[in-house]
Amino acid sequence: MAGEPQADCLFCKIVAGDVPATVVRETETTVAFRDINPQAPTHVLVIPKVHYPDAASLAAAEPKVAADVLREAGEVATEEKSESYRIVFNTGSGAGQTVFHAHAHVLGGRGLQWPPG
């Protein structure tokens, strides 16, 4: 069924507590944890607890949860005292997506180039 946990999904395992993560925030619908390979002083991933392969499919199926992810991304930036920050949803392997469970990267704590690579 759409949104159900996937046995082979790393982020579903983090949601279940089967893979450890440095969790910074958790809500009924989301988990935020530090990226294992940070690209900035603040690099936190915000994920929905439900499994969808990318942000757009999450938004299409469960728009309230997609909004929860965005709101939590803002809360993370506030907690990290990042006034300027970037929210990134890599979508598709050509754009660098490696984990096919929707996630927002929250990047901050340093100057960020625009346009990105």
Interface ranges with ligand 5GP (CB under 6 A):
10, 19, 21, 33-37, 45, 90, 96-99
Query: How would you class 95 by CB atoms within 10 Å of its CB: exposed for 0-12, middle for 13-18, buried for 19 or more?
Result: exposed
Closer residue to Zn ion (CB): 5 or 109: 5
Residue 46: phi, psi to the nearest 5?
A: -110, 125
* 43 catalytically annotated: no
Choosing among Zn ion, ligand 5GP, none, which partner's interface includes residue 113 (Cβ < 5 to 8 Å by kind)? none
Residue 41 CA to residue 51 CA, distance in Å, equals: 28
Closer residue to ligand 5GP (CB): 21 or 65: 21
Question: Please, what is the minimum distance in Å from the beta carbon of residue 24 to Zn ion?
Answer: 19
Q: Which residues pair with 87 in a beta bridge?
A: 106
String marking each residue 75-104 x if it binds Zn ion according to CB under 5 A? --------------------------x---
Say whether residue 51 binds Zn ion (CB under 5 A). Answer: yes
Binding site for Zn ion (CB under 5 A): 6, 9, 11-12, 51, 101
Catalytic residues: 103
